[in-house]
């Protein structure tokens, strides 16, 4: 296989008809090139969407009250009910599978539903949310200063953590923000932090950059909400099923608020864990489809090489007969033909692999160089394992492409081969 004479013969055979060789090799080149491009693009799509989710706790769910649809315990259908502060301690005491519990409520102003926030001569309409300190663990963020803590909550402190867009609207560029005062609903709050969200794909009740977080207890008092809680964000312990704990939580809250256990419409809910699993399934499906399409395209090129090797074998029938007459074994003939096939397939495929990876890296470089940011496409890449897998496919495909021509070559009897006219 590694004989110098054999390799010289391979090169001479392939050079004999350069156009035919190039056109045949192009099929394999294009197949592996498109496979790498599609895999890199699929990775860019997955990276874009996944990075948009940041470090959001994906084993979480959200639940809020809605109008009942079934009469229960003397209450009519169509009844509105609210969660309250007592539910917080009750959930913690009765559902040990909860890791983080972040109750929240949103403040609304009269009229158009916006919240007027004032600082000196500047005014902005922002979303005001009452939060628990645990929210920073559910939806992590970059913070200049600090986030809310338990003392802020217990003492109903008038403190606020503002989004980056709020800072841009209410403060001058370069101006110190931490420790300054802003006015919300006629009440002065001290800014203790400025946050930048780590994810942009998951929003609840307004753009995050245009949100102001204040302690939930402070918002309840500011807006005269009493002990009302708008909704709960729940993160379950590692290893627990978010869907199972979600069902358990809804049944528990239904019993506390005299809601029929059969009333499926009394609670609104959103299970992020299920959505995340579906998204992972979607990406797996896309990757599988890419491999099927790319491998199919590659196989078309391999079939082309197999066909051209059959032509080469037919053209070299007399030569093969002479080799057999001089003592060449069938295995030596097969090895020669398969080596030619593997060489042509591997060389053209390797060039396609390098070209595909090079184009992916060029696209990634362009995105970084020109600071092109997208929540749907980021860091297209092809990992080392994928490249090795593609290389293995090339070698195996080359061997398979040479088997049929090789078997055809050894099936010819030496006497018949010598009688053949080229």
Range with the poorest average pLDDT among 22-26, 50-54, 124-128, 293-297: 50-54
Query: What is the pLDDT, as a whole number, of residue 19?
Result: 79
pLDDT tens digits along 75-88:
999 999 999 999 99
Higher pLDDT, 395 or 134: 134
Domains of the chain by residue range: 4-53+277-419, 60-270
Q: Does pLDDT of 111 surpass 60?
A: no
| pTM of the full structure | 0.69
Higher pLDDT, 231 or 407: 231
pLDDT band of 388, cuts 50, 70, 90: confident
Higher pLDDT, 387 or 263: 263
Q: Does pLDDT of 232 surpass 90?
A: yes
Q: What percent of the chain has pLDDT over 90?
A: 37
Are the beta carbons of 316 and 418 closer than 8 angstroms? Answer: no
Q: Does pLDDT of 112 surpass 60?
A: no
Taking the C-alpha atoms of residue 252 and residue 246, their distance in angstroms, rounded to an integer, is 10
Q: Does pLDDT of 182 surpass 90?
A: yes
- Mean pLDDT for the chain overall: 84
pLDDT tens digits along 202-217:
666 678 899 999 999 9
Range with the poorest average pLDDT among 2-6, 42-46, 226-230, 321-325: 2-6
Higher pLDDT, 341 or 251: 251
Are the beta carbons of 148 and 133 closer than 8 angstroms? Answer: yes
Query: What is the pLDDT, as a whole number, of residue 205?
Result: 65
Mean pLDDT to the nearest integer, 357-371: 87
User: What does the DSSP 8-state code read for residue 210?
Assistant: G
Query: What is the pLDDT, as a whole number, of residue 104?
Result: 93
Residue 125: closest CA among 176, 79, 169: 169
Taking the C-alpha atoms of residue 218 and residue 37, their distance in angstroms, rounded to an integer, is 53
Query: What is the pLDDT, as a whole number, of residue 316?
Result: 67
Mean pLDDT to the nearest integer, 366-390: 79
DSSP result, 149-168 = -HHHHHTT--EEEEEHHHHH
Highest mean pLDDT range out of 134-138, 251-255, 335-339?
251-255
Taking the C-alpha atoms of residue 137 and residue 139, their distance in angstroms, rounded to an integer, is 6
């Amino acid at each position: 296989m590694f004989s110098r004479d054999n390799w010289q013969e391979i090169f001479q055979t392939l050079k004999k008809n350069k156009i035919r060789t190039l056109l045949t090799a192009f099929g394999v080149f294009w197949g592996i090139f498109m496979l790498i491009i599609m895999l890199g693009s699929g990775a860019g799509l997955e990276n874009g969407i996944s990075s948009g989710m940041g470090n959001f706790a994906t084993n979480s769910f959200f639940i809020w009250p809605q109008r009942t649809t079934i009469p229960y315990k003397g209450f009519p259908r169509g009844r509105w009910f609210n969660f309250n502060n007592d539910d917080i301690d009750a959930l913690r005491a009765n559902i040990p599978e909860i890791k983080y519990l972040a109750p929240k409520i949103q403040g609304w102003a009269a009229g158009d539903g916006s919240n007027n926030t004032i600082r000196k001569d500047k005014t902005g309409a922002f979303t005001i949310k009452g939060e628990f300190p645990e929210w920073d663990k559910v939806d992590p963020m970059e913070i200049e200063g600090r986030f809310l803590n338990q003392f802020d909550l217990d003492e109903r402190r008038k403190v606020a953590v503002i989004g980056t867009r709020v800072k841009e609207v209410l403060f001058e560029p370069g101006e110190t923000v931490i420790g300054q005062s802003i006015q919300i609903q006629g009440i002065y709050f001290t800014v203790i932090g400025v946050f930048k969200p780590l994810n942009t794909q998951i929003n609840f009740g307004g753009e995050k950059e245009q949100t102001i977080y204040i302690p939930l207890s402070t918002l309840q008092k500011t807006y005269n909400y009493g002990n009302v809680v708008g909704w709960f964000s729940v993160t379950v312990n590692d290893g627990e099923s978010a869907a199972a704990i979600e069902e358990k939580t809804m049944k528990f809250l239904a019993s506390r608020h005299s809601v029929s256990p059969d009333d499926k419409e009394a609670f609104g809910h959103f299970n992020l864990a299920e959505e995340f699993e579906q998204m992972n399934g979607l990406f797996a499906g896309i990757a599988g489809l890419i491999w099927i399409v790319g491998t199919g395209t590659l196989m078309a090129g391999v079939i082309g090489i197999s066909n051209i090797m059959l032509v080469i074998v037919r053209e070299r029938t007399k030569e093969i007969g002479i080799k057999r007459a001089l003592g060449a074994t069938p295995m030596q003939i097969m090895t020669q033909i398969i080596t030619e096939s593997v060489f042509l397939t591997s060389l053209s495929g390797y060039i396609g692999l390098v070209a595909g990876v090079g184009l992916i890296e060029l696209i990634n470089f362009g995105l970084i160089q020109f600071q092109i940011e997208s929540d749907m496409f980021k860091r297209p890449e092809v990992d080392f394992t994928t490249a090795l897998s593609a290389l293995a496919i090339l070698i195996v495909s080359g061997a398979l492409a040479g088997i049929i021509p090789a078997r055809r070559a050894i099936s010819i009897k030496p006497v018949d081969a010598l009688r053949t006219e080229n």
